[in-house]
Structure 1
Amino acid sequence: MSLRVSTVDPQQVAQLRRWNGLLRDGYAVGRQRVWARSDDAAIAQFQNPHPTRRSVLLLAEIDGVSVGAAEAHANPEEPADVEIAVLDGFRRQGVGRVLLGAVRGTFRTVASTIRAETYSEAGVAFALSEGLDVGVRESRQVLDLPIALESPNRTPSGVDVLSWVGSCPDSLLESWAVLRSRMSDDVPLGDLTRTAVPADVEAVRRNERRMVDQGYLLVRSLASANQAAVGYTEILLSRHDPEIVHQDDTFVEKTMRGRGIGRALKMANLRRLMSLPESASSRFLQTYTALSNAPMLALNRAIGFEEADILTVLEGPLG
């Protein structure tokens, strides 16, 4: 058996499509209602690389047959995130170990910590054998679309919710950046390394431009009380992959929790999503919530989300 690992050049479209297909097929084994990045989305993402992020795309072949793939990314002074997929018929042959070794070799001078995600107990066992430890487990929950929305939208007394699509209005930009920073400090990460997100309005604008360039519609809602921003939520709808929509952050200030603001934000944002022509072909909304975050799990269940599977995130030394 001849096992070979090569680096994928994003500018080589045929190779990039083959690599993305390997990841897509590997991720889907034994799972249902799985998000799969389309080839067009992969092209948009990797042919327009992040200016400060180091990325590597790897393809594994046995005797010339593609059997596995990996992608890894690292921002300066942050853990290197890696995802590995091996086709079902080629597992337990050392493919994942070789791919992980190649990732470690690539990022040895870039990061000191590596972080991996898996949806299977076999994947957890593999990561543990490579020196990683379980950091956090998250419930992947899905909501079938379209959804019949309550009418009118119920908003707590004294709270206003504003919804829009696209970039944050200039008048709300600073508040959005502050809430985003507080979200990064508050989200349950278990034993994972926490990276602070500064309240940087320019970073918000850069991220918005990148997401739009990659074909995403940004569906957003912000809650305010007494003229102060107290919470926000965001949904990402890819023009390339409209079937599966992504519920991203939802955050409410600690002093304002327990008043129904999170529900009001999510329902307002769902209403905005359902009003978009681009959502006509959307079949479900996907979100992730830490198993320790009981209030958000309960809120999601009340809205209609159902658990699809469990994501385990592990972390350990790169070396």
Structure 2
Amino acid sequence: MNIHVTDVDPRNTAHLLQWNSTLRDGYAVGRQKVWSRSDAATRLQFQNPHPTRRSVLLLAEIDGVPVGAAEAHVHPGEPADVEIAVLDAFRRSGVARTLLHAVRDALRDTATLMRTETYSDVGVAFARSEGLWVGVRESRQVIDLPLSEDAFDGLPGAPSDVEVLSWVGGCPDELLEGWARLRTHMSHDVPMGDLTRTTLPADVAAVRRNEERMSEQGYALVRSVARLDGEAVGYTEILLSRPDPTIVLQDDTFVEERVRGRGIGRALKIANLRRLASVPESAGSLFLQTSTELTNEPMLALNSSIGFEEADVLTVLEGPLG
């Protein structure tokens, strides 16, 4: 069986969308309520490449038929993030190993470490056979949308001395510095298990650059921040793809350690879910997805209190790229 791997040129739209479809279908095998990147979002992301990130897109074929795909991204000095998916009918045929070796060849001079993620025991065993180790495990949780108007009845609101502000889009100028500061704290604080901790810049300029790119790719940024005595102490963010709003992503939620345990995280999430309903495209959303490290019991309990339920468990592995 001859497995042929080709580089995907994002400028070739037909090839790019064929790659995305293969990756999406392979990633969803045996799973329910799986987020996937729409064709429109794929074009927007890869035909306007990130200025400092290197990306590798690979398509595997057997006799001209797509059987698997790989996606890898690396920032200078960071581990490479690698995703590999194989269509169900072609698993255990060497496709994943062929793709992984092709990724390693492509990025050998760019990074020394790689990370990958899987939702299956078979995937974990495969990654371990290639020299990777388990770094962290996360619960992927979902909640159906739309939420009823009384979904949060009976849940406590924000503490009386805490102000929660919500909006859609770029961060208001008067909140920008606090938002950037909290994002930096989040990168230092988020549970990483045995993964290498890396921190990308989250200064004001970096926040604005990220907002611009996300807007160009069609994402609505639904955000809330909590303030105590005028100072930002927590934030949360939801990402909704306007081209394909079916599945909405709950991104970061962070509360400074000194004010944890007061219900600020819950108040932030509830405020943001209510703000989500104000986005017109959310009328087409079916569920919201979030991921939480399995040992982060306070966040797991918070999500459960709001109505999230576990869909499956994600394992993130790390190891040498070479």
For Structure 1 versus Structure 2, the TM-score category normalised by the shorter chain is over 0.9
Q: TM-score, normalised by structure 2?
A: 0.97
In structure 1, stretches of 5+ residues that fail to align are none
Following superposition, the deviation at residue 198 of structure 1 comes to 3.5
Give TM-score scaled by structure 1 length: 0.98
1:32-83 Cα shifts (integer Å, max 9, x gaps) = 0111111111111100110000001000011211100000000000000000
1:150 equivalent to 2:152? Answer yes
Which residue of structure 2 lines up, in the alignment, with residue 140 of structure 1?
140
How far off is 1:226 after superposition? 1.2
* CA distance in 2 between partners of 1:153 and 1:209 (Å): 35
C-alpha distance in 2 between matches for 1:49 and 1:198: 19
Give the 5 Å matches for 1:65-214. Answer: 65-148=65-148, 149-150=151-152, 154-214=157-217
Q: Does 1:226 align with 2:229?
A: yes
Preserved CA contact (<8 Å) 1:153 1:268: no
Q: What are the equivalent positions in structure 2 for 1:298-309 lying under 5 Å apart?
A: 298-309=301-312
- Residue in structure 2 matching 1:296, options 289, 295, 299: 299
Structure 2 counterpart of 1:255, which letter?
R
Q: Which residue is equivalent to 2:13?
A: 13
Counterpart of 1:84 in 2: which secondary structure?
Answer: strand
CA RMSD of aligned residues (A): 1.1
Unaligned 5+ runs, structure 2:
none
Measured after TM superposition, the shift of residue 199 of structure 1 is: 4.1
CA distance in 1, matches of 2:279, 2:6: 41
Q: Which runs of 4+ in 1 moved over 4 A?
A: none
Q: Match of 2:152, SS?
A: coil
> What is the CA-CA distance between 1:3 and the residue it aligns to?
1.2
User: What SS does the corresponding residue of 1:240 show, helix, strand or coil?
Assistant: coil
Aligned: 1:240 with 2:240 = no
- In percent, how many aligned pairs have the same letter? 71
Hey, what's the Cα distance between the residues in 2 that align with 1:259 and 1:188?
Answer: 20
| Deviation at residue 153 of structure 1 after TM alignment | 7.6
Name the CA distance, whole Å, in 2 between partners of 1:4 and 1:306: 40
Query: 2:152, 2:306 within 8 Å by CA — same for their partners in 1?
Result: no
* CA offset digits 1:120-168 (Å, max 9, x no partner): 1100000000000000000000000111243698211200000000000
Amino acid at match of 1:168: C
Superposed counterparts of 1:279-294, under 5 Å: 279-294=282-297
The match for 1:44 is 44
